[in-house]
Amino acid sequence: MQPHYEFAGFMGKRVHLGVTGSIAAYKALDLARALQRADCMVSATLTKAAARFVTPLSFEALGASPVYTDMFDEAPGADTAFGHLEPGQAADALLIAPASANTMAKLAFGLADDMLSCQALAFAGPRIVAPAMNPRMWAAPATRRNWDMLGELGYIRVTPDDGSVACGDTGTGRLAPQEEILVATLKALAPQDMAGKRVLVTLGPTREPWDAVRFWSNPSSGTMGACVAMAAYLRGADVTVVAGPTSLVFPCGVTVTPVTTALQMFEACTDLWPDMDMACLTAAVADYRPVPFGDTKFKKATSAGAGITVQFETNPDILKTLGGSKREGQKLIGFAAETDNIRGEAARKLESKNLDLIAANNISRQGSGFGVATNEMYVMDAKGRKEQWPQLPKTEVAWRLWDHLLLD
Ligand code: CTP
């Protein structure tokens, strides 16, 4: 899983995982582990059919507790007499993954003829459903209707993926990727204190071509910005990412505008900014772009071994431009990557770019900056608050940045 999905700190939150009869049932074991890595407690119910594919013991061995099976079987550590009501009292979210066509139908019509369907009916909190089935079953009119009904009943629905399924058919019906299901669940557990906010995030490097095959760039992976975007998304914001070239994958709910050069990033951001409430610019934008040698490949024979001289032009400062056109109510966060005088440079950039908050780090320190999953930030805001944060996972840094910006 890419690092921007590795949010932790959902301490004390309990997710009840319902597993139904599908060949994808084994993937529920990975889901349980991913939820535990986010610090969630996990309990589970396996339908009779699910227990033919994976065993309750596997979930118990991973630390899920209690693990229910049949209505009248004893679940270790559980009050079996009221097991059908227990997740409704103890869990903060109910996640049914994979959900078979049969279970979907039961949920849609409110049937309660086994442990999981009773638990779902008695569950008043957020319910997430991630189906998996044969593409023809998924396309069947009855399933389409049940899917719509689940939406009307307030289920958070994670649409299955396209591709080939176990029986050899191809189409829609594969269980959605683990990341999509995890994000939908964590979002249901997270405070929605950024709901309705439109947030712009830039991330990654830019590439500045100097001939048809070569470019000038930097080693930014985009991870910090991806964590910032995900934290806002989990907290309910409407997130648009303007991304330089990276290998990052985002959940369907995040809008991604891919760009390559600083000028393209500038255009995308200046177009989007007037409609945004907040922006956080983390991209490692090239301050200069080479004056290209032409549209074709530069040949070494051209220089006759005498070396080459590349000329550069200045790229626009995107952050400064957004800061300069900031309207009342808009909030802007900038980053600063430094090797010296971090606090001085942070103060200078906060002021000169008209920011509300700046997060500066020493990129020459181990565990901070490019290509690592942690960062050690010095944070300063326009109200004069200054904080030195310890080395933290980038997910945690991202969460704290939004906390800090929402302070008033
Ligand atoms: N930034 C930007 N457009 C640029 C350069 C930087 O939007 N052309 C943004 C970065 O995304 C970051 C912040 O400005 O949020 C600071 O970037 P940094 O490279 O640290 O600073 P510079 O302004 O380029 O200044 P310097 O070269 O003096 O460090």
User: Average of pLDDT values for 359-380?
Assistant: 87
pLDDT for the residue numbered 76: 67
Q: Are residues 231 and 379 in the same domain?
A: yes
Closest ligand 1 atom to Cα of 360: 20
Q: Is the CB of 269 under 6 A from ligand 1?
A: no
Q: Are residues 155 and 231 in the same domain?
A: no
d(CA 188, CA 199): 19
Choosing from 189, 219, 250, the residue where a domain stops is: 189
In eight-state DSSP terms, residue 75 is P
From the candidates 167, 227, 252, 269, which is the catalytic residue?
167
Among the residue ranges 66-75, 221-230, 259-268, the one predicted with the least confidence is: 66-75
Q: Are residues 319 and 235 in the same domain?
A: yes
Tens digit of each residue's pLDDT (9 = 90 or more) over 278-293: 999 999 999 999 998 8
Q: Where are the beta strands (DSSP E) in 283-341?
A: 288-290, 312-314, 331-338
Tens digit of each residue's pLDDT (9 = 90 or more) over 131-164: 999 999 999 999 999 999 999 999 999 999 998 8
What percentage of the chain has pLDDT greater than the value 90?
83
Tens digit of each residue's pLDDT (9 = 90 or more) over 7-48: 999 998 999 999 999 999 999 999 999 999 999 999 999 999
Tens digit of each residue's pLDDT (9 = 90 or more) over 45-63: 999 999 999 999 999 999 9
Among the residue ranges 9-18, 84-93, 113-122, 212-221, the one predicted with the least confidence is: 84-93
Q: Are residues 214 and 339 in the same domain?
A: yes
pLDDT at position 393 over 90 = yes
Q: Is the CB of 318 under 6 A from ligand 1?
A: yes
Atom 28 (ligand 1) nearest CA: 345
| C-alpha 269 to ligand 1 mean position (Å) | 14
Closest ligand 1 atom to Cα of 335: 15
Residues 6+ apart with CB under 8 A from 34: 1, 5, 178, 182
Best mean pLDDT range from 260-269, 286-295, 308-317: 260-269
pLDDT at position 70 over 90 = no
d(CA 117, CA 201): 41
- Strand (E) or helix (H) holding 231: helix 223-234
What percentage of the chain has pLDDT greater than the value 70?
98
Q: Is the CB of 335 under 6 A from ligand 1?
A: yes
Q: What is the pTM of this model?
A: 0.95
- Tally of domains in the chain: 2
Choosing from 189, 224, 246, the residue where a domain stops is: 189
Tens digit of each residue's pLDDT (9 = 90 or more) over 194-231: 999 999 999 999 999 999 999 999 999 999 999 999 99
In eight-state DSSP terms, residue 28 is H
Q: Are residues 164 and 307 in the same domain?
A: no
Q: What is the mean pLDDT of the chain?
A: 94
User: Average of pLDDT values for 102-116?
Assistant: 97
pLDDT at position 408 over 90 = no
What are the φ/ψ torsions at residue 4 (nearest 5 degrees)?
-75, 0
Q: How many helices and strands, by DSSP H and E, does the chain display?
A: 14, 22
pLDDT for the residue numbered 370: 80
Q: Are residues 242 and 358 in the same domain?
A: yes
| C-alpha 322 to ligand 1 mean position (Å) | 12
| C-alpha 353 to ligand 1 mean position (Å) | 10
pLDDT for the residue numbered 39: 96
Q: What is the DSSP string of 159-208?
A: PPEEEE-TTS-EEEEEPPPHHHHHHHHHHHHS--TTTT-EEEEEESB--E
User: Average of pLDDT values for 225-247?
Assistant: 98
Would you call 167 a catalytic residue per the annotation? Answer: yes
Choosing from 129, 155, 189, the residue where a domain stops is: 189
Q: Are residues 38 and 83 in the same domain?
A: yes
Q: Are residues 135 and 216 in the same domain?
A: no
Closest ligand 1 atom to Cα of 286: 8
**pLDDT-derived band of residue 367, with 50, 70 and 90 as boundaries?**
confident
* CB 14, CB 89: distance < 8 Å: no
| Domain that includes residue 42, residue range | 3-189
| C-alpha 286 to ligand 1 mean position (Å) | 8
More confident residue, 38 or 86: 38
Residue 69 is part of a domain; what is its CATH number?
3.40.50.1950
Q: Is the CB of 396 under 6 A from ligand 1?
A: no
* CB 225, CB 397: distance < 8 Å: no
| C-alpha 284 to ligand 1 mean position (Å) | 7
User: Average of pLDDT values for 385-400?
Assistant: 96
Q: Are residues 133 and 23 in the same domain?
A: yes
Atom 20 (ligand 1) nearest CA: 336
pLDDT at position 80 over 80 = no
Residue 223 is part of a domain; what is its CATH number?
3.40.50.10300
Q: Are residues 96 and 235 in the same domain?
A: no
Out of 282, 332, 343, 349, give the residue to mutate to test ligand 1, the one with the largest number of ligand atoms within 8 Å of its CB.
349
Q: Are residues 156 and 260 in the same domain?
A: no
Q: Is the CB of 337 under 6 A from ligand 1?
A: yes
| C-alpha 238 to ligand 1 mean position (Å) | 25
Q: Is the CB of 146 under 6 A from ligand 1?
A: no
| C-alpha 381 to ligand 1 mean position (Å) | 17
Q: Classify burial at 149, counting beta carbons within 10 Å of its beta carbon; exposed 0-12, middle 13-18, buried 19 or more.
A: middle
Q: Is the CB of 313 under 6 A from ligand 1?
A: no
pLDDT for the residue numbered 278: 98
pLDDT for the residue numbered 303: 77
Q: Are residues 174 and 323 in the same domain?
A: no
